[in-house]
Structure formats: C-alpha cells, structure tokens
Amino acid sequence: MAKQHHSKGKKHWPVCQATGKLRLRESRDAKFALAAAKAQRARARIDGVEATWNVTRAYECDLCSGGWHLTSQRTDYGLE
Ligand SMILES: [Zn+2]
C-alpha cells in the first residue's frame, strides 16, 4: 500500500479496518487529536455552529494491534 501524501494543512490519519475509526499510532497522537477536537468545539461554539468532532477520550484498540482510537464515550480505560 502506497503512502498517501495529500494533506490540507491538517494531519491525516489512516482508518482502522475493524472499527472504521481514525487510527492513531501512539498515545501522543491521540492526545494531539483530542486537543484538536477540543479546539474545534471551542471554535464551533464561537461561530455558533454545531461541533461535529465530539471525542473526549482515547483508547488503545485490540483489533488493529495497538492503534489508538478516539471516542465520545466514557470507558474504564484510556487517556483522560
Ligand atoms: Zn482499531
């Protein structure tokens, strides 16, 4: 599979085959993405539009061997 290099100024992540979610490689990426989501929600509130990226937590996926996914649901594991 060839690497994709198209980027529109936003980080581009692959997708987990099992869950269809963004697949982040490490917890650091997950934290980065959570911060980006939080910033997007703040901006949406200012602009008076509905935020579409409601993720609040990250967790490690068993199905794509150590990939990290974001979720808006609370779980017993994962990052704050
Ligand atoms: Zn996965």
Q: List the one residue out of 78, 74, 73 whose CA is nearest residue 59.
A: 78
DSSP E strand boundaries for the chain: 57-60, 68-71
Q: pTM for the complete prediction?
A: 0.69
pLDDT in tens, 30-77: 999 999 999 999 999 999 999 999 999 999 999 998 999 999 976 555
Predicted confidence (pLDDT) per residue in 10-34, tens digit: 567 899 999 999 999 999 999 999 9
9 alpha carbon to ligand 1 midpoint, in Å? 24
Q: Check: CB of residue 53 under 8 Å from CB of residue 44.
A: no
Query: How many angstroms separate the alpha carbon of residue 45 from the centre of ligand 1?
Result: 30
Q: How is residue 4 annotated by DSSP?
A: P
Q: What are phi and psi of 9, to 5 degrees?
A: 80, 0
Find the 55 Cα to ligand 1 centroid distance in Å: 15
- Report the alpha-carbon distance of residue 25 to residue 42 in Å, rounded: 26
Q: Where are the domains of the chain?
A: 27-45+53-71
Which residue would you say has higher pLDDT here, 17 or 78?
17
